[in-house]
Amino acid sequence: LAVGKEGGAAERALAEDVLALRNPSELPVPHRPLEWSDVNIISTSDTHGWLRGHQHDTWPEPNYSGDWGTFASFATHMRAQADARGVDLLLVDAGDHHDGSGLVSTSRESAEAADGIFGLLHYDVLTLGNHELYQYSSAKWLYDNHKRWNGRYLTSNVNITVEEHGEVVSVPISDRVAKFETKQGNSVTAFGVLFNFKAHDRNITVQAPVKMAQEAWFQEAIADAPDYFVLVGHMPGRGLTSEWYPVYQAIRKVHPLVPIFVFGGHTHVRDCVQYDDRSIAVVPGCYLETIAFTSSNLPPAEDDGRALEISRRYLDANPVTYKWHTGTTDDDFDTQLGLNISQSLDNLAHELKITRPFGVVPHDYFLHRHPYGHPRSVLTVFAEKVIPEVVCDRERHGHPRVVIGNAGSLRFDVFAGPFDRNDELTVSPFNTEFLYTRLPAGLAGNITVEMNRAGASKFAPSVDDDEAYVRHVYNEWLASQWDRYVQSNLLGGSDELSMTSDAKKPRTLGYVTHDACKGRGDDIEHIPVPYSPDQVDFIRSPMPDVDPEEVIDVVVMDFAMEDFLTAASVLAPERKVSTDDFKTYAEGTTINDVFGLYARKQW
Ligand SMILES: O=c1ccn([C@@H]2O[C@H](COP(=O)(O)O)[C@@H](O)[C@H]2O)c(=O)[nH]1
Q: How many whole angstroms separate alpha carbon 248 and alpha carbon 228?
A: 12
Q: Atom 16 (ligand 1): residue with closest C-alpha?
A: 459
Residue type, 570: V
pLDDT at 570: 97
89: phi then psi, degrees, rounded to nearest 5:
-135, 115
Atom of ligand 1 nearest to the CA of 266: 13
Q: Atom 4 (ligand 1): residue with closest C-alpha?
A: 409
Contact 104, 49 (CB under 8 A): yes
Cβ neighbours of residue 123 under 8 Å, at least 6 residues apart? 91, 92, 93, 149, 152
pLDDT at 13: 59
How far, in Å, from the CA of 409 to the mean position of ligand 1?
A: 6
- Which residue from 96, 134, 194, 406 has its CB within 8 A of the most atoms of ligand 1, so it is best to mutate? 406
Q: Output the CA–CA distances (angstroms, integers) from residue 407 to 71, 75, 375, 378, in the order listed.
A: 31, 36, 16, 10
How does 199-213 read in b/e, with b if 16+ C-beta sit within 10 Å?
ebeeebebbbbbebb
CA-based diameter of the chain, in Å?
A: 81
Strands 270-273 and 279-284: antiparallel
Atom of ligand 1 nearest to the CA of 460: 16
DSSP for 284-302, written as a single string: E-STT-EEEEEEE----SS
- Which residue from 50, 130, 412, 458 has its CB within 8 A of the most atoms of ligand 1, so it is best to mutate? 458
How far, in Å, from the CA of 203 to the mean position of ligand 1?
A: 19
Domains of the chain, first to last: 9-351 (3.60.21.10), 356-459+537-602 (3.90.780.10)
How far, in Å, from the CA of 549 to the mean position of ligand 1?
A: 34
Residue type, 529: V
Q: Atom 15 (ligand 1): residue with closest C-alpha?
A: 459
How far, in Å, from the CA of 408 to the mean position of ligand 1?
A: 6
105 lines ligand 1 (CB under 6 A): no
134 lines ligand 1 (CB under 6 A): yes
SS3 335: coil
DSSP for 412-476, written as a single string: S-B-SEEEEHHHHHHH------EEEEEEEHHHHHHHHHHHHHH--TTSS---HHHHHHHTTHHHH
Question: CB neighbours (10 Å) of residue 474?
Answer: 17
Contact 456, 537 (CB under 8 A): yes
Atom of ligand 1 nearest to the CA of 559: 21
318 lines ligand 1 (CB under 6 A): no
Cβ neighbours of residue 344 under 8 Å, at least 6 residues apart? 117, 120
- Which residue from 267, 367, 411, 459 has its CB within 8 A of the most atoms of ligand 1, so it is best to mutate? 459
Strands 260-263 and 401-406: unpaired
SS3 316: strand
Prediction pTM value: 0.93
408 lines ligand 1 (CB under 6 A): yes
Q: How many whole angstroms separate alpha carbon 378 and alpha carbon 412?
A: 8
How far, in Å, from the CA of 130 to the mean position of ligand 1?
A: 9
Q: Is 576 exposed, middle or buried (0-12, 13-18, 19+ CB in 10 A)?
A: exposed
412 lines ligand 1 (CB under 6 A): no
428 lines ligand 1 (CB under 6 A): no
106 lines ligand 1 (CB under 6 A): no
Q: Atom 20 (ligand 1): residue with closest C-alpha?
A: 409
How far, in Å, from the CA of 459 to the mean position of ligand 1?
A: 7
458 lines ligand 1 (CB under 6 A): yes
Strands 509-510 and 527-528: parallel
Helix (H) or strand (E) holding 565: helix 561-571
Nearest to 365 by CA among 418, 419, 414: 414
Interface confidence, given as ipTM, is: 0.97
SS3 569: helix
pLDDT at 496: 44
Q: Atom 17 (ligand 1): residue with closest C-alpha?
A: 408
Q: How many whole angstroms separate alpha carbon 30 and alpha carbon 20?
A: 19
Q: Is 169 exposed, middle or buried (0-12, 13-18, 19+ CB in 10 A)?
A: exposed
How far, in Å, from the CA of 252 to the mean position of ligand 1?
A: 34
Q: 405 pairs with which residues across the strands?
A: 539
Instruction: For the chain of 603 residues, list the mean pLDDT of each consecutive stretch of 10.
Output: 50 55 75 98 98 96 97 98 98 97 96 97 97 96 96 98 96 98 98 95 98 98 98 90 94 98 96 97 98 98 96 98 98 98 98 96 96 97 97 96 96 97 96 97 97 72 42 87 89 52 68 97 96 92 97 97 96 98 98 97 97
Lateral strand order in the sheet of 551-557: 538-540, 401-406, 551-557, 434-440, 583-585
